[in-house]
Amino acid sequence: MFLKTLTSLVLAATASALATTPAVEARVCSPRHIAPPSIPDGLVLNLSTVPASYNYTGSETTGTVDPSILHFCNVTVTYTHPGKNDTIHTTVWLPFANWNGRLQGSGGGGYATRSDDTKLGDAVVKNYSVVATDGGHAVVSQTSTTWSLDADNNVNMALLEDFAYIALADAATIGKQISHSFYGRPPRHAYWNGCSTGGRQGLILAQRFPTAYNGIMAAAPAINWPSFLVAEYWPQFVMNQLQTYPATCVTDAITAATIEACDALDGVSDGVISSPDLCDFDPRTLVGTPAHNCTPAQNITRKDAEVVRRTWEGLRAANGSFLWYGLNPGAPLSRGASSLAHTTCTSSTNCTGTPFPISADWIKQFVLQDPSFDLTSFVPGDLDRILASSKARYNHIIGTDNPDLSAFKRAGGKMITWHGLADQLIFPKGTEQYYRRVEARDPTLRDFYRFFEAPGVYHCHDGPGAFPTDPLSAVVDWVENGMAPESIDAKTADGSERVLCPYPLVAVYQGGDVRDKASYECAKGY
């Protein structure tokens, strides 16, 4: 969910750089040849173009690892929605050669409506034209402080709506029109590709703008936004109530013991919990045992175990009733700033809680509208009210939980969602719940929408599990060739192969080499 600095774009403005592309192509990359787009309710303020080169270093997560120099026309459309006091910058990269006739919409992460340039490079290296939007605010992932509130602490609803959905529909319109103007023909197909916020963006496009994209790849989606962002603060609240802040070495020890206890439930011992629902390990059984990596040495306490147990249990009301899901057993609890039970320590016995920044920001900026509020002052019942307020005020804007995908289905759209079961930020159960709700409305949803769980994978990438190697290609095959994905190829960091199965099926070991995907079949259960 975190952005790299956008410094990798190298403008090819010199004669020697332009020599790398035919003169006609450099000439076409000009406002004289690219018409300003027509944006619904939008007014174009500026259109800039420049022939550009990009030092692409490759991406293991997309299966493209060879570095290369990409040459393309970089178009930036700056526009506003009159009366909303917004200024949005939408970027389109158009490869000079070998365009595949497809447009790709590129998603963002956290509060950033777009990702960094590496994601655009991932698209161009595969010969897509690609579009991304800043949503009208700075491309900063972890905080909304530069745009969410005005001087009187009123929420900037126009920019929130731009971030939530309006700029996304605009970007599809802009990307299609700019591609048409540049190449002389429109894209044959348009695809969305995103994870986290990008996954949420894909789903809201399917829900609200069903003809914007023919195919959507929406991974680890940040749907149920007003609910899960409040629930992400729950582990910190628990630690504050218990007045105990386990060091990372302690929570890592509990996680390791959990994986050891539940690893083999799927018939393969590979350091991965493939079915968290079958894992009934109780961390309280570890009380009094040593957390071996701690310095100075210490034993796991009852309160340490309780923090973990309640983090798995998820957000509960003051009366103990369910409010939202927790992390799955085996997910990392304290993984730097990108985790929910993170603590900052001067030693393993002297720690303080460190909330996930986006969760804390949402509660302070959007729910309480008080940037200086001390979240450690919460008492039982406060999070109940925070959650209720968050949902009441913002679910219709950014909840992205509408299960009615009938218009997307009628438009012929195809969509894939995958979610890592060891995701340490966005609760996989929330994605499963949404998929079940879609199915309750339309039992034939697998004709156009399939969900794949990825055991042992963290948020969008990393982890001991098998990561999907190229899920977007499965969407393309489905849209263009009618090939519905019966499984998705995945690979671990050490090269072991697996298949991911369409929910509710799971990959069951059939014998043979455990590192070979041919040794697994999709079945109803372990």
CA angle, residues 493, 499, 500, in degrees to nearest 5: 100
pLDDT at 2: 34
Whether pTM > 0.85 for this model: the answer is: yes
- CA gap 358, 439 in Å, rounded: 30
Token pair for residue 290? 């040593």
- CA gap 17, 72 in Å, rounded: 12
Token pair for residue 514? 């455990």
- Whether residue 504 is preceded by a cis peptide bond, meaning omega within 30 degrees of 0, is yes
- CA gap 336, 18 in Å, rounded: 43
* 3-state class (DSSP) for residue 364: helix
Q: How far is CA 175 from CA 9, 105, 216, 230, in A?
A: 19, 8, 15, 34
pLDDT at 58: 78
One of 170, 181, 459, 487 is an active-site residue; which one? Answer: 459
CATH classification for the domain delimited by 188-222+400-526, as one of 3.40.630, 3.40.50, 2.40.128, 3.90.1280:
3.40.50
- CA gap 351, 303 in Å, rounded: 14
Active site residue 180: no
pLDDT at 57: 85
Active site residue 462: no
Ranges for all domains in the chain classified under CATH 3.40.50: 188-222+400-526
How many C-alpha atoms does 464 have within 13 Å on its Cβ side? Answer: 14
pLDDT at 65: 60
One of 304, 423, 462, 489 is an active-site residue; which one? Answer: 423
Active site residue 292: no
State the pairing for strand pair 449-454/488-491. Answer: unpaired
Kindly report, residue by residue over 452-472, the tens digit of the pLDDT: 999 999 999 999 999 999 999
- Residues of the chain with pLDDT below 70 are 1-26, 60-66
One of 115, 141, 179, 196 is an active-site residue; which one? Answer: 196
